[in-house]
């Protein structure tokens, strides 16, 4: 009876905690979406190029789920095979998008809702990971989840929506933690359950956005090595004993991993061989210089003014937006530095306050060491070793994006440190530190420029294609400029055509992606050679679609 009374007494507290977490999640996500909410979702995240490329791939998955398209081949870049492999796959995003589209939501709003859903997953998973893995109280876990969700670097760069998939990192960490706990406890069934979840999630994550899924493995290996380097021989022997005792379930998980990753491997390995991936020169250009480690952009609420002054002084003419602007807030790095000293002195403690916390220490050391590998001084960087030796590294063009991933571990370690020191810091000082940490993640330059109103109006004005059209090519680009003339000549007509192709399920040789098929050169439809290039690459008798007038021509002349 006493136990029942105690459980009943805990219900209101648990309900209150749940509502706090859900309320915090709603506020953090709404804060990230504040510009879109303010304009009534008429202007959305991203621009007319990257955001619409993503929408075309999301619409591809909707077609796949409806049985109208082969999973590996899109309606754009026709007739090349396995065309999904020229870009990130957006698989998990496509599942959520298809659900929103099934509810009657238009493509542009459905894409925005996917971003909202991914942010929410990241918040909830980060909170749960702080609670379960690090043993933090709910309030500290909430702080960590807020910092992770509104992260300054991610906010600047989230016009590349696939990078938002960093939200799956804490979820995968939870699954791996469950598997590790079951391994130590000698529970093979739980090990299989948690492990299978981790294997399936990571396989789906790879098919969604390669960068963040690869960074998770890169950081995970570094963390494991750091953990093994610091624990005593007895703990390493126990790990080896646990692994031998669970040989069968681990072998089953290995086989499951091979099967789960077969779609990714069969799609992307041939494309990697075909394209050669990225040269080291591209990676070198996009590695962070020392200043980029703390470059929070000129739109940062607290330090944007200082970044602008330093840019003018150290590198005049540096753009307000760059793919290398992924730095971590100096306030957060200061707390992380204090946490690192605290941990290396052996003062890190687990949730009970009685046992050392080698995992926390390993995360901190792995973050520092792996981060230093990315830094470039002049033309010298240790990333060359990673590029040459680590599988998959050649597919990473923007090395600076690793800082977006590292924000999660850095935040987790920093918040764990503050939680451990809370009783030693005056409440007013502690509150000020938390305010500075949150303020350091606020950026006022939202990458929001995709006009949902304009794009829907264009699609509504597009008449149905002639019945005899086996496919189409874009014969002219729309008149409105988006970026520079050189960029527009490559992207404008191709991006429009690929989305229209997926919406109408009508093949087109046009399209654009990270890589393009062999022989594809369909740029600048106003040039004299454009029609000849279309005829050389595409199947014959295609209709022409003039994207300036939105008119079809069933019998275009060369």
Is residue 395 domain-shared with residue 536, that is, in the same domain?
no
232 vs 74, residue with greater confidence? 74
Is residue 374 domain-shared with residue 507, that is, in the same domain?
no
CA neighbor of 51 nearest in space, from 542, 496, 516, 535: 496
Q: Report how far apart, in Å, the C-alpha atoms of 382 and of each of 285, 379, 397 are.
A: 13, 10, 15
What whole-number distance in Å separates Cα of residue 365 and Cα of residue 343?
A: 9
Its domain, for residue 171, covers: 19-46+112-439
In a domain, 185, yes or no: yes
Q: According to the model, what pLDDT value does residue 355 have? A: 35
Mean pLDDT of all residues in 15-36? 92
522 has a pLDDT exceeding 80: yes
Is residue 435 domain-shared with residue 468, that is, in the same domain?
no
Mean pLDDT of all residues in 388-402? 96
277 has a pLDDT exceeding 60: yes
In a domain, 6, yes or no: no
Is residue 434 domain-shared with residue 494, that is, in the same domain?
no
38 has a pLDDT exceeding 60: yes
pTM: 0.94
What whole-number distance in Å separates Cα of residue 526 and Cα of residue 277?
A: 30
Is residue 125 domain-shared with residue 71, that is, in the same domain?
no
Ramachandran category for residue 232: left, alpha or beta (phi over 0 → left; psi -120 to 50 → alpha): beta
Binned at pLDDT 50, 70 and 90, residue 12 comes out as: low
3 has a pLDDT exceeding 90: no
Window from 31-45, 189-203, 273-287, 346-360 with minimum mean pLDDT = 346-360
In a domain, 450, yes or no: no
Is residue 432 domain-shared with residue 504, that is, in the same domain?
no
In a domain, 475, yes or no: yes
What whole-number distance in Å separates Cα of residue 161 and Cα of residue 164?
A: 5
CA neighbor of 96 nearest in space, from 72, 84, 108, 113: 113
Binned at pLDDT 50, 70 and 90, residue 321 comes out as: confident
Is residue 81 domain-shared with residue 123, that is, in the same domain?
no
Residues 424-471 pLDDT 10s: 999 999 999 999 999 999 999 999 999 999 999 999 999 999 999 999
Binned at pLDDT 50, 70 and 90, residue 348 comes out as: low
Quote the longest CA-to-CA distance of the chain: 87
Is residue 483 domain-shared with residue 337, that is, in the same domain?
no
Confirm if 77 and 517 have CB atoms less than 8 A apart. yes
Is residue 170 domain-shared with residue 231, that is, in the same domain?
yes
In a domain, 92, yes or no: no
CA neighbor of 474 nearest in space, from 456, 482, 462, 486: 462
Is residue 184 domain-shared with residue 221, that is, in the same domain?
yes
535 has a pLDDT exceeding 50: yes
Mean of pLDDT over the chain: 93
Is residue 528 domain-shared with residue 475, that is, in the same domain?
yes
In a domain, 340, yes or no: yes
350 has a pLDDT exceeding 50: no
What whole-number distance in Å separates Cα of residue 492 and Cα of residue 128?
A: 43
Q: How many structural domains are present in the chain?
A: 2
In a domain, 179, yes or no: yes
Strand (E) or helix (H) holding 476: strand 472-476
Residues 90-106 pLDDT 10s: 999 999 999 999 999 99
Q: Collect all residues with Cβ–Cβ distance below 8 Å to 130 and sequence separation of at least 6.
A: 136, 140, 141, 144, 145, 412, 415, 416
Other CB atoms within a 10 A radius of the CB of residue 484 amount to 8
Binned at pLDDT 50, 70 and 90, residue 353 comes out as: very low
In a domain, 107, yes or no: no
Q: According to the model, what pLDDT value does residue 314 have? A: 83
Q: Collect all residues with Cβ–Cβ distance below 8 Å to 525 and sequence separation of at least 6.
A: 474, 475, 476, 477, 493
Binned at pLDDT 50, 70 and 90, residue 356 comes out as: very low
Is residue 265 domain-shared with residue 395, that is, in the same domain?
yes
């Amino acid at each position: 009876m006493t136990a029942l009374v105690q459980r009943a007494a805990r219900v209101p507290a648990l309900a209150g905690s749940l509502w706090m977490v859900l309320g915090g999640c709603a506020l953090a996500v709404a804060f990230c979406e504040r510009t879109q909410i303010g304009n009534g979702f008429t202007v959305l995240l991203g621009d007319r190029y990257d955001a619409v490329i993503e929408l075309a791939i999301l619409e591809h998955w909707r077609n796949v789920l409806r049985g109208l398209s082969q999973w590996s081949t899109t309606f754009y870049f026709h007739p090349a095979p396995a065309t999904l492999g020229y870009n990130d796959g957006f698989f998990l995003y496509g599942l959520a998008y298809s659900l929103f589209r099934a509810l009657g939501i238009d493509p542009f709003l459905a894409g925005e809702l996917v971003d909202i859903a991914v942010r929410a997953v990241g918040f909830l998973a980060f909170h749960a990971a702080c609670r379960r893995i690090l043993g933090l109280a709910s309030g500290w876990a909430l702080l960590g989840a807020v910092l992770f969700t509104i992260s300054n670097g991610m906010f600047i760069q989230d016009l590349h929506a696939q990078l938002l998939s960093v939200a799956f990192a804490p979820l995968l960490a939870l699954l791996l933690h469950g598997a590790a706990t079951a391994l130590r406890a000698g529970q093979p069934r739980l090990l299989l359950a948690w492990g299978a979840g981790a294997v399936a999630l990571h396989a789906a994550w790879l098919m969604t956005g390669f960068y963040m899924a690869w960074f998770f493995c890169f950081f995970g290996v570094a963390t494991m090595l750091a953990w093994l380097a610091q624990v005593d021989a007895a703990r390493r022997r126990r790990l080896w004993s646990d692994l031998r005792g669970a040989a069968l379930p681990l072998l089953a998980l290995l086989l499951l991993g091979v099967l789960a990753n077969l779609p990714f491997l069969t799609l992307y390995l041939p494309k990697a061989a075909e394209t050669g991936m990225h040269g080291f020169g591209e990676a070198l250009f996009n590695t962070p210089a020392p200043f980029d480690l703390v470059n929070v952009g000129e739109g940062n609420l607290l330090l944007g003014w200082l970044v602008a002054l330093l840019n003018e002084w150290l590198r005049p003419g540096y753009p307000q937006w760059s793919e290398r602007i992924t730095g971590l807030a100096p306030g957060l790095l200061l707390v992380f530095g204090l946490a690192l000293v605290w941990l290396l002195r052996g003062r890190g403690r687990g949730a009970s306050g009685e046992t050392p916390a080698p995992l926390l220490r390993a995360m901190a050391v792995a973050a520092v060491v792996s981060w230093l590998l990315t830094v470039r001084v002049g033309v010298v960087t240790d990333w060359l070793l990673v590029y040459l030796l680590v599988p998959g590294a050649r597919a990473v063009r923007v090395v600076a994006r690793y800082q977006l991933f590292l924000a999660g571990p850095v935040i987790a370690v920093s918040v764990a440190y503050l939680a451990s020191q809370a009783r030693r810091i005056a409440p007013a000082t502690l509150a000020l530190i938390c305010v500075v940490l949150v303020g350091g993640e606020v950026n006022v330059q939202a990458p929001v420029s995709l006009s949902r109103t304009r794009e829907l109006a264009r699609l509504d004005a597009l008449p149905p294609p002639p019945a005899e059209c086996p496919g189409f090519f874009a014969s002219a680009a729309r008149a409105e400029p988006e970026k520079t003339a050189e960029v527009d000549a490559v992207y404008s007509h191709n991006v429009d055509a690929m989305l229209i192709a997926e919406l109408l399920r009508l093949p087109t040789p046009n399209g654009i992606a990270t890589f393009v098929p062999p022989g594809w050169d369909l740029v600048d439809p106003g040039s004299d050679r454009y029609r000849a290039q279309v005829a050389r690459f595409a199947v014959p008798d295609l209709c022409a679609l003039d994207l300036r007038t939105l008119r079809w021509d069933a019998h275009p002349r060369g």
